[in-house]
Structure 1
Amino acid sequence: MGDIIVDGTVKVAYVPTIAALAAPTTTEINAGDDIDGFMTADGLVGFEPETAEVDTTALSSTFDTKRPGRASFSGTMLRIKKQTGTDTTYTTLVRGVEGYIVVRRYTAASAAWTAADKVAVYPIQCGERRDLAPEANTTARYEVPTMITSSPSLNAVVAA
């Protein structure tokens, strides 16, 4: 067994409509916008779940016990490179826009979305876009806060 190198193996799309989170279709995903090519290398921010602990220790216990509680995400956002000319991502992902972020990992990002792809689907609503301060030796960038509005499907499988 070998290590998985993540370079070039993360594909991200903004999709306006998905009927079944656990089984988005290739048609639904292809109707969205692939945005990974415009994102910075560290541009998928906060899309890692955290699980709260629930203390289940009894008064008579001699050992502290815990169970998993609520899962949550915090600080989710997309960091994107500003494009010249028509920048569809910049004009689409604005405050209040709802949709889905679909993430496929560990398959070449250049590969098309296909049935049986394992993906994570996050229902989101965009916050206020934030143009980042200019810096030397970098591209113009902006961030789009993406609040997760309901429970995501972290183990979805793309349907035909």
Structure 2
Amino acid sequence: MADIPGDGKVRVDWLPAVANMASVTLAEIAAGIRASQWMTADGLVGFRPDTADVATSGIESTFDTAVNGRRSFSGTLLRFKKQSGSDIIYGTLLPDVTGFVVLRRSLAASVPHTSGQPIQVYHVMCGETAWMDPEPNTVERFEIPLKMQNPPVLRAVVA
């Protein structure tokens, strides 16, 4: 098996509605926005689950043991480059708006979605837009914090 370089192979779509998070239709994807075309190179933040430990050791134990507890995501956000004129992302991902982030890896971002492709689906609510501090030699940037509304489906497919 060969390694898969990650450059240019992450696609992020914002969908307003999804009926079945495990199997997203091509029509649902077509109704969305390909958000990754305006994201910064480091713009996908916090899409890594954390699994809490539930201690199972007893009072007489001499070794700490544990099982899996709750899973969570923290610091989840999308970071974008501000666009001139009518900025679709800036005008769509407003505070309290709910929708779905569909994340696809390992294929060129420009490749259209097709049936059977593996995807990850996150049902989220947008927080307040946060402008990044200005700094030299960079474009204007802003972040949209995201709050998980339901457990994500990390092994979903395009229907």
TM-score band by shorter chain is over 0.9
Following the alignment from structure 2 to structure 1, what is the Cα–Cα distance between the partners of residues 139 and 114?
A: 32
Residue 30 of structure 1 contacts residue 113 of structure 1 at CA under 8 Å; is this kept in 2?
no
Given the alignment of the two structures, is residue 130 of structure 1 paired with residue 130 of structure 2, yes or no?
yes
Equivalent position amino acid for 1:75 in 2: G
Q: Does 1:72 align with 2:72?
A: yes
Gaps of 5+ in 2: none
- What's the counterpart of residue 40 of structure 2? 40
Deviations 1:57-113 (A, max 9, x none): 122333221101110000100000001111110000010100000000001111001
Higher deviation after alignment, 133-142 or 71-80: 133-142
Q: Secondary structure at the match of 1:128?
A: coil
Per the alignment, residue 59 of structure 2 pairs with 59
- Paired residue for 2:2? 2
1:115-154 superposed matches below 5 A: 115-154=115-154
Superposition CA RMSD, Å = 0.9
Percent identity between the two aligned chains: 49
1:91 alignment counterpart: 91
Q: Secondary structure at the match of 1:84?
A: coil
Contact 1:14 1:100 in 2 (8 A): yes
Structure 1 residue 132, shift from structure 2 partner: 1.6
Report if aligned partners of 1:39, 1:80 keep a CA contact under 8 Å in 2: yes
Structure 1 unmatched runs, 5+: none
1:81 is matched with: 81
Q: Matches of 1:6 and 1:123 in 2, distance apart?
A: 24
Which amino acid is 1:41 matched to? A
1:157 aligns with 157
1:150: how far off? 1.1
Q: Distance in 2 between matches of 1:94 and 1:131?
A: 13
TM-score normalized with structure 2 length: 0.97
